[in-house]
């Protein structure tokens, strides 16, 4: 890779480091990651993995990335519960038992898998 091609990579790495270290940019990036992850999660289940990766990438360490991804999963479960409760369907979904539990488990585990991207970047 030439020096000219490495310039944007170095600049992106410096910006990511700034987001991870400084409070203001970190919170902005975290909120953006949460919103993008929630939107993508409504379209496809892989949005859960992407959301976990996004919140993980702005975390200062791998441990914080996993915790942030678990928090994202809890947020997804809460949003899902509210979206079911508003039209009165929460009771019917809860009555499915293990199927509803599987949805909750996936919503908690998939973002954690995505957050492991923090170990790479």
Sequence ranges of the domains in the chain: 30-119
In this structure, what token pair is assigned to residue 9?
Answer: 């990579």
CB-based burial label for 47 (10 Å; 0-12, 13-18, 19+): buried
Q: Please tell me which residue, 61 or 8, carries the higher pLDDT value.
A: 61
Mean pLDDT of 53-64: 95
Q: Do the beta carbons of residue 82 and residue 93 sit within 8 Å?
A: no
pLDDT value of residue 3: 54
In degrees and rounded to multiples of 5, residue 13 shows phi and psi of -65, -40
- Please tell me the pTM assigned to this model: 0.85
Q: Do the beta carbons of residue 121 and residue 57 sit within 8 Å?
A: yes
Q: What is the percent of the chain where pLDDT is above 90?
A: 75
Q: Please tell me which residue, 42 or 8, carries the higher pLDDT value.
A: 42
In this structure, what token pair is assigned to residue 15?
Answer: 């910006």
Instruction: Name the one residue in this structure whose structure tokens are 């038992």.
Output: 97
């Amino acid at each position: 890779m030439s020096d000219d091609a490495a310039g944007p990579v170095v600049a992106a790495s410096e910006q990511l480091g700034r987001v991870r270290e400084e409070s203001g940019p970190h919170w902005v990036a975290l909120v953006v990651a949460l919103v993008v992850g929630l939107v993508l999660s409504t379209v496809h289940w892989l949005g859960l993995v992407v959301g976990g990766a996004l919140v993980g990438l702005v975390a200062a360490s791998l441990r914080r990335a996993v915790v942030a991804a678990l928090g994202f999963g809890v947020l997804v479960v809460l949003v899902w519960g509210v979206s079911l409760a508003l039209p009165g369907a929460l009771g019917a979904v809860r009555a499915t038992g293990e199927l509803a539990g599987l949805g909750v488990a996936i919503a908690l585990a998939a973002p954690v898998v995505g957050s492991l991207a923090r170990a790479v970047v």
